[in-house]
Amino acid sequence: MEVILLLIYSFFVWLIFFKFKWLPWNITSQVIVVTIPIFGMTALILALNVVAPSSSKLRVYRYQVPIVSQVAGRVIEIGAEEGNRPVKKGDLLFRIDPTPYENALRTLKAQLTNAEGEAKRLNEQLRSAVSNVTGVRSKLDLARKRVAQYQDLSSTGAGNKFDLEAAQADVANLEAQLAGAVAAQAQTQAQLGAVVDGDLASVAKIKADIVQAQWQLDQTITRSPCDCYIVNQQLRPGAYVVAMPFNNVMTLVEQHGQLIALYNQNELHQVEPGNKAEFALPTHPGRIFKGKVDSVVWEQGVAQARTDAQGSIPATVAATGPPGGFIVKFNLDDPADVPLLAAGASGDVAIYTEHVTMIHIIRKVIIRVGSNLNYLIPKLH
């Protein structure tokens, strides 16, 4: 763009001083003609770097999603094709032999049926024991009333001593029966045990085991968690996978990446989230991608930028290193309409702030010229 402006300027100089000779071509005019573009271009470039800063340190990042099997087993089916192939969210990646997990689930369901039957029997037994205690306690209360009546009659001489002794024997017998009934009730309650969410502890435990077993059975089928690409697919039917967090069996790469650029510290004081941006990548020569500033990461990943709470005075020597830049994150306007952006691809980016918008056109021309220059491959072999 600077060259184009200089050519236009040179054309007007030729018209004024040589073609029409409106002004004399002397030392004074020559100094002025040479000075104007120097100061003008310098001022324009300095202003442009503030209101429309650019960076050649653009990188495309695409996040990786490591796939780890949640259960162990033999792989019997591979749903994902080999190579750098796209997969949709929910597509089958691979399937593990479900036989041992199906057997474990059936065993637990059988145990649940037995446990529920045993719980039902104990509940019936408990209700019978409670009814028995109630009945014996009623009989005991009646027998005690008869003993009191016979004692009253015997004290007045109207009663029979034999009847009093028989009534007392009935009370003793019923007290023994009540003690046995209460013990039987307590024993049944102890067998029933604690209750969890309305179920016996034994039944609740088996139900929880069934939920876990069903989850493990579901995990024998692994599906894609995102719209991604499969890179370097090496899993094959017959391979044995284990449920370990660091043993990923394949790696997915997200289809839509994140654009990140590094700017010098003094280039960002006018940049705000939401500012428009344009990108040019050598992988797509001649094409301009549009987006917006997502955020500026006002943090440097260097040791000089942090101090630990150690109770000591920070050393000033650590801050003598060269100043670093700051990262700017960008979002594409419509990622669905953008072709695959290769992870690790580099390029140029320009940010258009809300200031001095009239000169933004110069930056737009510069970045478009640079994008078209990506068609050139300057090598001889």
Q: Residue 196 — pLDDT band, cuts 50, 70, 90? A: very low
If you average pLDDT over residues 30-54, what whole number do you get? Answer: 84
- The structure tokens 């309650």 sit at 189
Residues 291 and 351 in one domain: yes
29-51: average pLDDT: 83
> Is residue 311 included in any domain, yes or no?
no
Instruction: Find, among 249, 252, 254, 209, the residue nearest to 70 by Cα.
Output: 249
**Where residue 293 falls among pLDDT bands split at 50, 70, 90?**
very high
Residue 228, domain member (yes or no): yes
Domain count, the chain: 4
Asked if the structure places residue 272 within a domain, the reply is yes
Within a domain: 335 = yes
Looking at the DSSP bridge assignments, the partners of residue 251 are 66, 231
Over residues 232-256, the mean pLDDT reads: 84
List, in order, residues 6 or more apart from 371 with CB less than 8 Å away: 280, 285, 286, 287, 288, 348
| Residue where a domain terminates, one of 196, 216, 236 | 216
Considering the domain boundaries, does residue 312 fall inside one? Answer: no
Q: Determine the average pLDDT of the residues in 129-144.
A: 78
Ranges 164-173, 261-270, 298-307, 361-370: which has the least confidence: 298-307
Residues 291, 268 share a domain: yes
Residue 19 domain-assigned?
Answer: yes
Whether 128 and 272 share a structural domain: no
Domain shared by 212 and 233, yes or no? no
- 3-state helix, strand, coil split of the chain in percent (to 5) is 50, 20, 30
Contact assessment for residue 375 and residue 281, using Cβ atoms and an 8 Å cutoff: no
Same domain, yes or no: 118 and 26: no
- How confident is the prediction for the chain on average, in pLDDT? 81
Which of 48-52, 133-137, 354-358 has the lowest average pLDDT? 133-137
Q: Are residues 212 and 145 in the same domain?
A: yes
232 or 56: which leads in pLDDT: 56
Expressed as residue numbers, the domain containing 285 is 44-62+256-303+321-375
Task: Give percent above pLDDT 70 in the chain.
Answer: 82
Winning range, highest mean pLDDT, from 47-56, 190-199, 318-327, 337-346 = 47-56
Identify the CATH number of the domain in which residue 129 sits: 1.10.287.620
* Residue 55 located in a structural domain: yes
For the whole model, what pTM was predicted?
0.62
244 and 284 fall within a common domain = no
State whether 152 and 198 are in the same domain. Answer: yes
Give the pLDDT score at 303: 52
**Whether the predicted pLDDT of 1 surpasses 80:** no
- Asked if residues 38 and 5 have their Cβ atoms less than 8 Å apart, the reply is no
DSSP per-residue codes, 256-312 = S-EEEEEE-GGG-TT--TT-EEEEE-TTSTT--EEEEEEEEE----SGGG----SSS
